[in-house]
Structure 1
Amino acid sequence: MSVTMPSPDDYEELLLSCRYGDVDDIRLFVDRFGADALNSARDDSGNTVLHMVCANGHQDALEYILPLVDATLLAAPNAAQSTPLHWAALNQHLAVAQALVNCARGPGVDLIDRKNAAGRTPLGEAENVGWDEGAKWFVQVMNLEDPAGKGEAGDETVDPAQDIEVEIQDAEGQVARMTVSSRAADPAVCGDVATEAS
């Protein structure tokens, strides 16, 4: 039995369903065209099903879609080079951002370092809109080690139980100071949306 290929109208309806978080319609699309068809859906700006779901904070839709799409879709850029995590940060959706970063099949914390065409990372987007809660979480989980493995003079070994003071300068030259605690949450499995502790 062959699977029917979606038409441009089918893809447009899927993207609208993702934008509005209509899980039932997303399921109908998958039942009709197969899960692989989710990977091909793009709007005129290059936004994927994950962009739409993450921008609008639809956790139920994300829980359904995340295990079905290719892992590469987690880091897929749109025309402005923004990933779904950029959109989650821009619109201040913490549980959605956590699910993307904690997805075991995805790039993990490396998603936080991806820059869009404006030169901002998801952390930079969070800072740009004044989303302190999200910026703090990004700093807590991001890789703060020197990527080359070479420390600068004066680097010291840090006790893992000790809190770390971090200064981050955004694109406009503003400096944010944060304390990073060693009590970061355990990564969730792909498809499970973590919620913040109250």
Structure 2
Amino acid sequence: MTALDEEIVSEVIACARFGELDELKSYIDQYSADYLVEKDEYGNTALHMASANGHLEIVEYIIQTLGGSASEIINAQNDSGNTALHWSALNGHQTIVEVLITHGVNAKIKNTAGRTAISEAQQNGHERTVEYLLSVVDPTDGNENPEEEKDLAPESSN
């Protein structure tokens, strides 16, 4: 793919960030869905921005529009190693976390600080998100150092 117009990339990412679904659709209809996989100067995609800011309809639109090629973007990491899941978990956007999990996101990806989405959610006090992620992901499965994330399991209230 040739380099796409940086101004349009910026507009597409801004639409996703600010929840402007109609404007985003207009750009994609006018230009190309290829703009949905492009990154800004920090490595963020439209999916990163929509996930970080809780724009569920845009997350669903991006995944639906990309179809089979959504897997290419769903695990994309920005310059800090964060995926869309990291951002949605960090900000407690539970429904988006669930949508990303449903579409095959890898919840075990670590960012450059060595943190998974589970640890980001925990550090930011989003216990419901932590509990959900722990119910669908074994944080020790395939982990070279299982002790590292043992403290992430929610304490039993029994």
In structure 2, the residue matched to 1:55 is 52
More strand by share: 1
Kept in 1: contact 2:18–2:53 (CA 8 A): yes
Query: Contact (CA 8 Å) 2:47, 2:74: kept in 1 or not?
Result: yes
Give the match for residue 30 of structure 1.
28
Q: Which of 63, 66, 76 is matched with 2:63 structurally? A: 66
Cα offset, 1:11, TM superposition: 1.1
The one of 132, 136, 143 equivalent to 1:141 is: 136
Output the TM-score relative to the length of structure 2: 0.84
Q: For the Cα contact (< 8 Å) 2:36–2:47, is it kept in 1?
A: no
Query: 1:196 corresponds to which residue?
Result: none
Structure of higher CA gyration radius: 1
Identify which range, 10-19 or 63-72, moves more after superposition.
63-72
Q: For 1:32, give the aligned amino acid.
A: Q
CA distance in 2, matches of 1:91, 1:58: 12
What letter matches 1:132 in structure 2?
Answer: E
- Quick check: 1:54–1:88 contact (8 Å CA) kept in 2? yes
Match status 1:169 vs 2:151: yes
Where structure 2 has 5 or more consecutive residues not aligned to the other structure, the ranges are 144-148
Q: Segments of 4+ in structure 1 off by > 6 A?
A: none
- The structure that is helix-richer by fraction is 2
Q: Which of 40, 45, 55 in structure 1 is aligned with 2:42? A: 45
| Cross-structure match for 2:127 | 132
Aligned residues: 147
Q: Which has the higher contact order (CA 8 A, sep 6+)?
A: 1
For normalisation by structure 1, the TM-score amounts to 0.68
Aligned-pair Cα RMSD in Å: 2.2
The offset of 1:143, in angstroms, is 3.3
